[in-house]
Amino acid sequence: MYHYLKYFVTPSVTIATAAGIFLGGYWMWLGFAIFTVLLIGGDYLLGEDTSRPDYRYPALLSVPLLLAPPLLIASLAALAWASGAGSADWLGMGALLERLFGYGFLAARGANTLLDYCGGLLSIGFVVAGYGTNVAHELTHQTQSRWKMIVGRWLLSMSCNTDFSIEHVYGHHVTVGTPQDPATARRGENVYAFAVRSTIFGHLNAWRLEMERLNKRDYGVFSWRNQMLTGYLMSLLWIVLFAYAGGTTGVGLFLVQAMIAKSLLEIVNYMEHYGVVRDPNGPVLPQHSWNTNKRMSGITLYTLTRHSAHHEHGTLPFWELDPYPEAPQMPQGYLTTIVLCLIPPLWYRIMGPRLDEWDAAYATSS
């Protein structure tokens, strides 16, 4: 039973995050604090997990994925409500919660400081990235399922990043490790420069791939089948809802949390393939990704951490991915490695010897 229940950790953190936003004050930092403790402390204390359990009821593993849309909608609704001021009470949520719990939600919101909102934005940004984008990544690889693609794109719209469903699946997975892939970080490239380059060229590449698809089907650029345009409309809907709830403050809060979530995705892209090179004519193999089997990162991120196996078999569900302990390994679990990435001199010092080892083991003459 543990192997099923462990994947409900992230939904539980998302519920706590939404609750913290409503409670206001220092509680708005709750989601960020839990993620930090879980992913840094948990990885350190619990070590690695290279097992691959035999799941007799794999359908149960889809439940935490299906919980992502309602729980993240609730979290964003909490942030939208928190963007209101004075007596504004979007959808009457504050009054309803006060009747249910006897707590002064509206008064607590009125006492929120800028620092409190910073905590709220980090908390929401982390759950939108760690839960929303991650589940969307799982779903949008199942290209044969229309409903999974739609749900995945709506989750990506929360971070204004629906182009990921196009470029990642049809671009990155084909060109990973080559100069043609904007999501593969080059050696010596710092994470900040990479994030800008990957965002711009990844978006342009998504447009190119979508236009190729539309042209093959004889659809025009302004067709409702253009997934780039419908993706913009999805994110615009969130902006309109936040504007209605909190005016310009609401729009600002939505865009900042989206930027945090998108930035986390690009940092993860950076560290998953940093410095790896591949012959464009060769297959994508486990050595073309940095892997980690840190237990808590794997639980929280639905084994995105087994990235070597994911790139070898992109359509496999997360619970079937092999651990590949012999593949190139990240320095630490995901959140710790994210912190290391943000300090370029430290990152280069850590990754330099790893890249030397990679070259000795895997580099080709071409």
Tell me the whole-structure pTM to 2 decimals. 0.96
pLDDT for the residue numbered 365: 58
The helix or strand, by DSSP H or E, that contains position 108, with its residue range, turns out to be: helix 105-110
238 vs 251: CA distance, rounded Å: 9
DSSP assignments along 228-276, one per residue: HHHHHHHHHHHHHHHHHHHHHHHHHHHHHHHHHHHHHHHHHHHHHHTT-
Tell how far CA 208 is from the center of its chain.
Answer: 23
Token pair belonging to 154: 């709506």
Rg (CA), the chain: 21
pLDDT, averaged per 10 consecutive residues of the chain (366 residues), comes to 91 98 98 96 95 90 96 98 94 96 96 98 98 97 94 98 97 96 97 98 98 94 94 98 97 98 98 96 94 96 95 92 95 96 98 96 74
Q: What is the pLDDT of residue 45?
A: 96
What's residue 229's pLDDT? 98
